Structures are given as C-alpha cells and as structure tokens.
Structure 1
Amino acid sequence: MKQKDQLLWIVMISFWVGAVVITGVSFIKSPAVTTQFPNRIQEVLPSVVHIQCDSWQGSGVALTEDIVVTARHVIDGLNYTITLNDGNTVRGIQAITHKDYDVGFIRVEEAVLTPAKFGSVKDCVLGQSIFIIGSPYGKVNFNNVTLGIISGLDRDWDKASYYGEPYGWKIAFTSDAGAHPGNSGGPVFSMDGIVRGLLVGGYSPVLNCSMPSDLFLNDVEIIKLMFLFEKYKTEEIKTGYGYFEGYSYAPK
C-alpha cells in the first residue's frame, strides 16, 4: 500500500473514533447467555404429564400428589395412562369435570405426582411473558416448550363457538405461544414457574385460549373430597365458579 493511502486510512479511522467519543456513541455488547429460563423449565418439568385415553390424548399438570388437572375435553373414554416426566406411567382411576368450564381432574392410583405451584391470572398483565409445556401432536413431542406473551385477558370465546354449543371457554385469556392439538390441558406458566392457566384450544398456533387457574384455585379441598364420594353421577358440588360433577370410570 502506498504511503499516501496509508495516511488516508489513518485520518479516516482517527476521524471515526473521534466522532464516536464526541457524540457519546457506545457499542452494544451481545447479551450474556443466561441459564435462568432453562433452569426454570427444569424446575417445573416434573409436574407436567402426558395423558393417553381410549381415543384421544392431551397434556396435564399435577395439582396434588395424586390428582392431575387438565382440560375437560381431554377426559374422554374409560382407560387413562398418565406418563410422568421420568417416563414412568401410572393409571388414572377416577375423574371430575367442571360442568360449565373446560377444566377436569383425574385421580391416579398412586401418590407419585410432583405438584406444581398455582397462581391467579389476575396477578398477570397484558404483554407479560409466559411459556407453555405440553405434548403437541402426541407423546412423541412430550414436554415440548414454547414461549410467548399474554395477548388478551378476560376473553369470552364461547361467543365464537362454531357449533352453536359453548366450549366452556367463557372465562379465558389468550397467548401467542405456539400450541397445537395435544397441548390441550397443558400448563401455562408465568416466568416465575407458577401455573396461571391451562391451554384448551385456539384459532391458530399463535392465537390460543387458556382457562385461568382461578377456576379451581380455591376448590382443591372440595375436589379432594369429591374423589371420596361413591356415587359420582348423582353428585354435584357448587363452587365459586359454578358446579363440579364427577364420575368413576375405572375400578378402584
């Protein structure tokens, strides 16, 4: 390189550096790699389950050591196999469903579940980050994680029913985290690892609907008692959000 060209480059570089100093321009460093979110996922995974029934499958999350909460429409058939995060399975022996909302509960034959932490969606705000864990398109995608935000609160999706019958989605919130068939009943976590709701359906992979945990937060003890009843089909228990009804679908 000729001496003249070298001097020209030196002048240009000096001018550029000076401009950066004078204008206060600073370089943006790449964000540090954080393990906080992956660690949070590992913390909550033991509470998430896959549910296989006679003709359908879905997702769920442990409410107690022997009760799984899921979507009402996942509870279908007579035989249920619950797969835990470690790959072990346990049989479901009883179920309770909400009469008005898309929420249901399955009791398993052994107290081997790892309960999740639950909280009210009323403590969340529009645009807040959430993540969903479930089994989209079946057990092959067990414990699939998607990340998004709460895109809508206080939605009434029963008004949008295609079939003229309510889905049980009258009290709902929406998110843009990816979800597909098989995610139904899976937990929607806030970033602190608290279950704020259950994924139940959607219009597209990034516009989905969830039932808030508020529908059963204050009724856990009632749900436990209902599982002790012998005649499920005749029993209805009124709660703050309506009625629960139960039935036994497998021998104790």
Structure 2
Amino acid sequence: MKNIHSYILTVVITVGLVLTFISWGVAVVKSPKMVHQVNLPDMIQEVMPSAVHIMCDQWQGSGVALTPDIVATARHVVDGVNYTVTLNNGCRLKGYQAVSHKDYDIGFIKVGSRCVAKRSEHSDEYREDNTFLVGHKVELKPAEFGSIDDCVLGQSVFIVGSPYGKINYNNVTLGIVSGLDKDWDSLSRYGEPYGWKIAFTSDSAAHPGNSGGPVFSMDGVVRGLLVGGFSPVLNCSMPSDLFLDDVELIKMLFAQEKYKVEKENTSGPEDWYGNPIEIESHDYYMSD
C-alpha cells in the first residue's frame, strides 16, 4: 500500500512539473477570432527587430516600425527636433522629421536609411554581416498591426520598450489587457488633454521610457502604443485602430517635404524677348 501511495505521489508531482514547464514557454491566445498556442520566447524573438529606442532632445522613449522608414511612437516623444533611433541590432538611424496626431497621443518619425553609429562608439568592432558598420544601408522591419477589438478583457499581452532609458532598451514585460474603452483625458493634471480619450489598459510593468513602445498580443500583433500610466502595473495605451487606416496618409505627409512651393511670379508672363503678355483671367478647379 505504501508503494502505491508513493507511486501516485510521484505521478502527481511529475505532471505538475510538466504543466509548470509548459506554462513558462507556451501561451494560449484566446479572443473571439483566434484560439491557438504560441511559444512566447520564440514570438518575442520574432517581433523584437521591429522595436526601437528613441533619443530626443531632452528625453528618451520607445517605438515600433510602421514601415521600412517610419517609426510609430507617442506624440509626446516626438516633441523635439532631433531624433536618434536605435534598432534591436544596435544600428542607429537619424530621424529627419516627425508628425503627430492632432487629437491623440500618437506620433511618427521618418528615419534615414544609413547607420550613423555602431552599437559601441568606443569600439571599432562590428559583426561579420556589417550590421553595425557606419554607413551601412538598413531598413526597419515593419511590425504587424491589428485592432484592439479583436482582443478581450484578460487576454495576455507583452510590452517591449526602454524603461528608464537606453540602458534597458527593448526590455520585455508580460501582463494582460486589464481595461478596454477607457477615457483618461479627464485625468489630466494640467488642464490640457493628453490625447488619451480612447485607450485601453494593461498590467504589464512599464516605467518612464516605455512611452511609445508597442503592446503585442501573443500572436505578435501590435494592438497599441503605450503612452502613460498611474503605476508600473496600471498603464494606458493608444489602440492601433486610431491610425491603421491612415498609413498612406502618413506616408504622404512625409513625402511633401520632398517638394517646395514655387513663389508667385509677380511680373506676369513674358514672351521670348522679355515683353509682357496679356492673358485672360480663368477660374481653375480640382478634378475628382
């Protein structure tokens, strides 16, 4: 009888250890539209190249690649004129221009295509594939973005960011969606709204420096950008839905910088010999 009890106890302990081990490495994604298992460490490695650290004039933040040359982040992170974006592989790119949403705490940075510095400015070493070679041409790896509407309360998420600056860049924390459809604008301490009228919350640990970082669901899809919080485990994020349909418009805003507006010719048209030409006045219209 004693041997039977020992056998049963051994089986119970073994099963418990196996289940614990599985829970560390495998997450189950549940939402109205998806139910499947994901190996969390592998998923983190897959999405990490899309996450970036952002150095601005007076502060630091986080971000994620929207296109091969545009980074999505928080509006308050792009409040400056000089930007340096560090990729997960250590390559640094110069940010040339930024735009931001008028109503929400969302911003975007256009970056160059050449590395401006290596991982370590005090070393001449770089990897054999020239990833860190100054002047090496690189492109951002765009993340996959999706709607927060495809998620449910209590669903697992993880955040990638740079809490307290570059020393912790691309740090990962795990949590759940703790709140949906929140309006945090009424909580502004300075009278002006933060642009947090449409938000969701999570309990993934976050700190100053995480602002602008991506909030991933377990399938590796960016559901929002972290922008602030009341405590390390009560943070606020802007849903990706706020800009998902505006990607082409954002590209156009940056493309406008390639062109200039010609000054009006106040002297009027002239012929080949420099003599003024009189023309009739016409009204012009924009075609559909």
Under a length normalisation based on structure 2, what TM-score does the superposition of the two structures give?
A: 0.71
1:168 aligns with 2:171: no
> What corresponds to 2:148 in structure 1?
121
- 2:99 counterpart SS class: strand
- 1:218 counterpart SS class: helix
Please give the per-residue CA displacement for 1:36-92, whole angstroms capped at 9, x wherever unaligned: 111100000100000001101100000000000000000122211000011000100
1:71 aligns with 2:74: yes
- CA positional deviation for 1:230: 3.7
- Counterpart among 207, 210, 214 of residue 183 in structure 1: 210
> What corresponds to 1:248 in structure 2?
none
Runs of 4+ in 1 over 6 A off after TM superposition: none
> What corresponds to 1:240 in structure 2?
none
- Counterpart among 16, 27, 35 of residue 29 in structure 1: 16
Q: Is the 8 A contact 1:56 1:76 kept in 2?
A: no
> What corresponds to 1:86 in structure 2?
89
> What corresponds to 2:100 in structure 1?
97
> What corresponds to 1:6 in structure 2?
none
Distance 2:215 2:6 in 1: 49
Distance 2:165 2:210 in 1: 8
Q: Alignment identity in percent?
A: 68
> What corresponds to 1:249 in structure 2?
none
Please give the per-residue CA displacement for 1:180-218, whole angstroms capped at 9, x wherever unaligned: 000000000000000000000000000000000001001
- CA positional deviation for 1:231: 9.9
- Counterpart among 200, 219, 222 of residue 192 in structure 1: 219
> What corresponds to 2:255 in structure 1?
228
1:136 aligns with 2:139: no
Under a length normalisation based on structure 1, what TM-score does the superposition of the two structures give?
A: 0.81
- In the superposition, relative to structure 1, how do residues 229 and 144 fare at CA in structure 2: closer, same or farther (>3 Å)? same
- 1:63 counterpart SS class: strand
Unmatched tracts of structure 2, length 5 or more: 27-38, 114-137, 260-288
Distance 2:249 2:77 in 1: 21
In the alignment of these two chains, the number of paired residues is 217
Distance 2:247 2:58 in 1: 28
> What corresponds to 2:34 in structure 1?
none
Q: Is the 8 A contact 2:228 2:237 kept in 1?
A: yes
Distance 1:106 1:119 in 2: 20
Please give the per-residue CA displacement for 1:137-182, whole angstroms capped at 9, x wherever unaligned: 0000011000000000000000111122100000000000000000
1:145 aligns with 2:172: yes
Q: Is the 8 A contact 2:185 2:194 kept in 1?
A: yes
- 1:105 counterpart SS class: strand
Distance 1:80 1:189 in 2: 24
Q: What is the letter of the counterpart of residue 85 of structure 1?
A: N
- 2:256 counterpart SS class: coil
- CA positional deviation for 1:16: 4.4
Distance 2:90 2:163 in 1: 17
Unmatched tracts of structure 1, length 5 or more: 1-10, 233-252
Relative contact order, CA 8 A, sep 6+: which one is greater? 1
Q: Is the 8 A contact 1:55 1:76 kept in 2?
A: no
Which range moves more in the overlay, 111-120 or 223-232?
A: 223-232
1:218 aligns with 2:268: no
